[in-house]
Structure 1
Amino acid sequence: MRILFNIAHPAQVHLFKNSIRILKDRGHDVKVTAVNKEVSRYLLGTYGIEYELVGEAKNSLWGKAVELLKIEGYLYRISREFRPDILVGGVGNVYVAHVGRLIDRPSIVFDDTEHAKIEHLLMDPFVTLIVTPSCYLKDLGEKQIRYNGYHELAYLHPKYFKPDPSVLESLGLSKGDTFFLLRFVSWTAGHDIGQKGIGNRIRFVKEIEKYGIVLISSEGRLNRELEKYRVKIPPEKIHDLLYYATLYVGEGATMASEAAVLGTPAVYVSSLARTMGNFIELEEKYGLVFSYNSESKALEKALDIIETYSDREWKEKRKRLIKDKIDVTKFIVDLIEKYHSHIAR
């Protein structure tokens, strides 16, 4: 079987990296294309995944529209040469849906973002299958397949992820140190435009810092006063750091979900709070994520978690979650193989 994976966001490198490896090991011919966004190319190189670049991520709606056409043009030419049996993409991957229809091949998109309205408007009429967590809030019709898990479990399940404590040494930290990882986003993704998170970032950081060491991960530039908190580690080490953190607080939804499945309490601050099924389930069923569109309420909850923190309590919550959920990478591989067998008959 010939499979084309299109990577449109750094998180999709993690989502598909294990599936790509397994499919190759099973003898399938796998082609990877990528849109240059943040650290996507760096991660692909780090994990030894060969790829062809098809475009650049843009910030404005006009820029995104123009680049969409360019990306699909490149992807179409590559697909005509590679002749994939199936095209695969992550959240809002309009490109594989459109190109798949153009070359008369099925496309599968793994989505967990209900509020990505523009992407769904452009993608859903053309995509073959939309695969979502079982807790996804919307009914997408006969094209939708639900699974009992989260995207993040494709790479942070204990079967695939073992935390490396050396990341702590590189920052002068030790196991058991109290430190907090904060994440600020740039709000330039298509589904993020017009949204907001933490307004007074300096005040927020200063309040958290009273209780321990603050480290900041940020998509964009930081205020001069906050730049000194920026964590300087290789991007592929961020999950190790997140595992050992006392608390995650931030505007980044993906990192909040990652913290949860690692057993690190997460406080998500965004005007998009409680619009996604995975966050609602992670809060109401597992008590691992707490979502707020109020900055003051988010800070209050963060401080409450810090003051009552017990590592054993949070890791036990993680064990319960892992026990309940499936091996998502195995599910991805099996779905691709079984769907190809179905259409090949």
Structure 2
Amino acid sequence: MNILFFFVHPSKFHVFKKTINHLKSNGHNVDILITSKDVLEELVKNEGWNYTNIFPEGRKFKNVSPYISAGVNFFRTIHRLLKYCRNKKYDLFITDDLLVYVGKIKKIPTIAFTDDDLAIVKQFSIILKFANYILAPSITNLGKFNEKKIAFDGYKELAYLHPNQFTPDLELVKKIIPEKNFFILRLVSLTAYHDVGKSGITKEKAKQLISLLEKYGQVYISAERELSPELEKYKLKIEPHQLKDVLSQAKAYIGDSQTMSSEAAILGVPSFRFNDFVGKIGVMDEKDDVYKLSKSYKTSEFSFLLKDLENSLNGDVFSLKIKENQKRMLSEKVDLTSFMIWLLENFPDSIRTLKKNPLYQEKFINFMG
């Protein structure tokens, strides 16, 4: 098969990495397009892939409204995608962005990937509307687009953190971080169009968290935004591809990132999320409420976060049962990479199989404990 992947966020690199490597090794022709976003290009380079960055300058405009920026980038992106695809033949497009429009124009089936409920990212309708299929967790509510959904019982992070796909490099972690007890504090920028009006951990709140955590171990900050001089000394200085190994050994994670909060939970690391998306995203709520792998706090609930974090650091039920709860979750969720490999290598017959028997996906629940 000839397959084109276009993804615009580092998290999707991790989601598709092992699937792409398998497809390539099995003789499929796989082309990869990206944009400059955070550490995405570093990750792709480190994997050794041939790729094309259609926005090496990035898609952000300084001092411009995110809505205006999104509107301008809509046309810039489609233009560059059409230019790249000219005189190329593909059997399938996989994307989390505007490649769906090129698929519609060129009559190439397109699978869009998301794990966000439509109610929280209504703007993503412009992508979902033109996708032929939408690969998303069963719990993710896509509203009027649910009929297009290829549902899998799991989370995107299981594509690269399921025990079948990930074994932490403990020797690497020891070389990077000498302390036995350490914590990861994640600070993101919250500047995307869907982040407008949302907030997370401010500099002052970060200082309060550090003051508490330092009583129990070393604090390291993973930052997507610029840090003030007083926080810079805590910055975690590692290669982007090493972060999952480090996170897996942390005593706790605290942050305003959706993805890293979920990664910590999947890894069985006590996870504390603090931002204005709390209570609005199905996959996050399920990890909080059903599996007790994480705790989430609105930005008006900082005092509750501090209290619960201190209880966890002193060995409360949440922290003591986290590994047991992790095993229960893994025993009920699919190995997403194995599922995607089957889905893509057998496309479009795989779509018909799932429509006829949605429980077919249970073949990919294979955690042995």
Shorter-chain TM-score range = over 0.9
Alignment of 1:109 onto 2:112: yes
Structure 2 counterpart of 1:137, which letter? N
Structure 2 counterpart of 1:53, which letter? N
SS at match of 1:21: helix
Superposed displacement of residue 39, structure 1: 0.7
2:129 aligned partner: 125
Q: Distance in 1 between matches of 2:3 and 2:170?
A: 36
Q: Distance in 1 between matches of 2:78 and 2:213?
A: 44
Alignment of 1:84 onto 2:90: yes
SS at match of 1:32: strand
Mean Cα displacement is larger for which, 294-303 or 5-14?
294-303
Contact in 2 for aligned 1:86/1:340 (Cα 8 Å):
no
2:24 aligned partner: 24
Structure 2 counterpart of 1:52, which letter? T
Identity %: 34
Superposed displacement of residue 233, structure 1: 0.7
2:9 aligned partner: 9
2:249 aligned partner: 244
Alignment of 1:210 onto 2:218: no
2:334 aligned partner: 326
Distance 1:117 1:343, change over 3 A: closer
2:59 aligned partner: 57
Q: Distance in 2 between matches of 1:238 and 1:343?
A: 34
Mean Cα displacement is larger for which, 163-172 or 43-52?
163-172
Superposed displacement of residue 312, structure 1: 6.7
Q: Distance in 2 between matches of 1:327 and 1:343?
A: 18
SS at match of 2:195: coil
Mean Cα displacement is larger for which, 95-104 or 313-322?
313-322
Superposed displacement of residue 160, structure 1: 1.3
Structure 1 counterpart of 2:284, which letter? F
Segments of 5+ residues of structure 2 without an aligned counterpart are: 353-369
Structure 1 counterpart of 2:307, which letter? E
CA RMSD of aligned residues (A): 1.9
2:76 aligned partner: 70
SS at match of 1:325: coil
Q: Distance in 1 between matches of 2:193 and 2:279?
A: 19
Alignment of 1:182 onto 2:149: no
Superposed displacement of residue 309, structure 1: 5.9
Contact in 2 for aligned 1:85/1:340 (Cα 8 Å):
no
Superposed displacement of residue 137, structure 1: 3.4
Q: 1:154 aligns with which of 150, 154, 159?
A: 159
Output the TM-score relative to the length of structure 2: 0.87
Distance 1:300 1:343, change over 3 A: closer
Alignment of 1:97 onto 2:100: yes
Q: Distance in 2 between matches of 1:274 and 1:265?
A: 18
Q: Distance in 2 between matches of 1:336 and 1:71?
A: 25
Q: 1:291 aligns with which of 296, 303, 313?
A: 296
Alignment of 1:282 onto 2:291: no
Superposed displacement of residue 188, structure 1: 1.1
Mean Cα displacement is larger for which, 35-44 or 311-320?
311-320
Q: Distance in 1 between matches of 2:331 and 2:146?
A: 29
Contact in 2 for aligned 1:197/1:295 (Cα 8 Å):
no
Distance 1:5 1:229, change over 3 A: same
SS at match of 1:318: helix
